Homo-oligomer: A and B are copies of this chain.
């Protein structure tokens, strides 16, 4: 077989970032030095969180945005954390606020997530934004970054979703659930699978479009697939690899080798969804900054 077309997330992310950089330059030139500003709050210093914050910082700076990193001790009280959130909510110069999860044990992640002004909720995780995402004929202020990245990849690959059967494996609040709504918004017929799903293989085989956000290395095999399926593999899982200095390498939830023989198109891991997630965060922050210039406030509540 000729094998699947590779959907290149890295290249698409780079081209979107280049456009955002131009946009930020224009915004600044036309508005007396105005700069979109992303603020990230990190509590404690988990290594993985620090890495993710650094990736976002690098992307923001490269695009020409302002980035502030609010690093709090792991021992900070929830009230202190909330007061930092509130100060950023009230600072009109800040356009996007993100609290890096997970928070230390004992902190209420829900409360902190909902405390962010939903006008600055560039992660798109606030329940009001999720509700607006779920409702037909409504629009959230921001679409969650990873799901939005998946839709951009499908669009870029020229995939027609209208009336097609999409299967999403995974129902998390940050990937599976919001993605199902975005796919449905494109008029796909969506099935959401999860760990309790019976006959997963048979359901996956009905998919014209398959999205995996499971966290199980190479679980989905080529033999599970309908020929010609388009695959977006969100999974990013470490597996041991003694040929690497780090001792690991990253693989998706899909067994790329067998799947790419059956699919018509597939995202690689790494280099597929990953680079799009950070890019969509930048996109949302620029969007928020542009709205702030127009004095935009959604009159809700």
Spell out A's residues near B (CB within 8 Å).
110-111, 114-115, 118, 126-138, 162-165, 171-173, 177, 181, 184, 187, 189-194, 196-199, 203, 206, 299-301
Contacts and interface: CB of A to CB of B under 8 A. Distances in A.
B184 A192 contact: yes
Nearest to A109: B137
B196 A171 contact: no
14 contacts: A114-B300, A114-B301, A127-B128, A128-B131, A128-B301, A131-B131, A131-B134, A137-B173, A165-B198, A165-B203, A187-B196, A189-B194, A189-B203, A301-B301
A127 B192 CA distance: 22
Contacts of A130: 130-131, 134-135
A165 to B, nearest CB: 7
A167 to B, nearest CB: 9
A135, A162, A203: residue with the most chain B Cβ atoms closer than 10 Å: A135
Nearest to A129: B131
A170 to B, nearest CB: 11
A133 B127 CA distance: 9
A128, A132, A133: residue with the most chain B Cβ atoms closer than 10 Å: A128
Copies of chain A in the complex: 2
Given A128-B128, A128-B131, A191 B194 contact: no
A126 B134 contact: no
A180 B129 CA distance: 18
Contacts of A126: 131
Contacts of A136: 171-173, 177
A66 to B, nearest CB: 26
A190 B189 contact: no
Given A163-B198, A164-B198, A189-B194, 17 more contacts: A110-B138, A111-B299, A118-B301, A127-B128, A127-B138, A127-B300, A129-B131, A130-B130, A130-B135, A131-B132, A131-B134, A133-B134, A135-B173, A163-B197, A165-B203, A189-B193, A191-B191
B189 A189 contact: no
B187 A190 contact: no
A12 B163 CA distance: 37
Contacts of A171: 136, 184
Contacts of A137: 173
B190 A192 contact: yes
A3 to B, nearest CB: 27
Nearest to A178: B134
Contacts of A299: 111
Contacts of A192: 184, 189-190
A298 to B, nearest CB: 9
A277 B187 CA distance: 28
Contacts of A203: 165, 189
A114 to B, nearest CB: 5
